[in-house]
Amino acid sequence: MNRYSRAASAALLLITGFGSVGCVTTGKGGGERYRNVVDPSWPDRYNHDAQQATLAPFAQQATNGHFQERTLWNWYFEPGTDRLHPAGMAKLNAISRSNLDNKLYLQHAGDLPLTPDNADKVIDLRHELTAKRAATVRQYLATKPGTPEYEISVHNGPTPAIYAPFALSAFRGQVTGYVGSLQGAAGQLVGGSSSGNNGAASAAGAGGGTAPTPGGPPGGSSPGTPGGSGSPGMP
């Protein structure tokens, strides 16, 4: 079909109403024929689906974060008891001030140790301890003014953790600042340091001399007589 035939076919569709936008809701059978050819909801329908597909992973992340933030873990209680640890009290204080919702999560009391004496009943003892901890949480939150009645769900989800030496190394490394690692011909540091006098000393070390002291003479090693050995200058 050449271009003239295609143009004629398009004109025929417009004349008969088959290809007219105005026949979506008017004309006998025109709307149905039109919807069989095109999608009247384009592109809104597909934009909405694409938006939901993009936001879904972030919504799951937000849900996971909310679950972690609203969970009372085992370490919020004294080991093997239903007594709140000071960290648990601080956690409940923060929850009572947020009032995001009345849903809380409680980790199953897995910190009750297994011993030869309780091996045959440790499961029941852990369930009992979990129930006591839930009652303790409700009792503590009831002392906070304006707090709703909380719904507590028990779970045994994975405990969030981070390898402690990584965090400790990052914390200790804050005081050193950034130090370059580019080495010169003599094996000395060339890049220098961005923290205080270390940068000046490193830069001077690369040139083979000592760092000039502020206020001292150019080329001298310390204040005093130009070129002196470092003793205070004499009048």
Query: Could you read off the pLDDT of 55-109 as tens digits, one per residue?
Result: 999 988 888 888 989 999 999 999 999 999 999 999 999 998 887 788 999 999 9
Residues 78 and 125 in one domain: yes
Residue 176 lies in a domain: no
Residues 36 and 78 in one domain: no
Rounded Cα distance, 185 and 163, in Å = 38
228 pLDDT more than 50: no
Residue 117 forms part of a structural domain: yes
The last residue of a domain, from among 155, 171, 200: 155
Pair (71, 150) in one structural domain: yes
Contacts of 162 (CB under 8 A, 6+ apart): none
pLDDT of residue 134: 96
Mean local confidence (pLDDT), 42-54: 89
Q: Which helix (H) or strand (E) holds 231?
A: none
Q: Are residues 85 and 127 in the same domain?
A: yes
Same domain, residue pair 34 and 79: no
User: Does residue 160 belong to any structural domain of this protein?
Assistant: no
Domain that holds residue 141: 64-155
Q: Token pair of 16, please?
A: 């008969």
* Helix, coil or strand: residue 227: coil
Contact assessment for residue 199 and residue 189, using Cβ atoms and an 8 Å cutoff: no
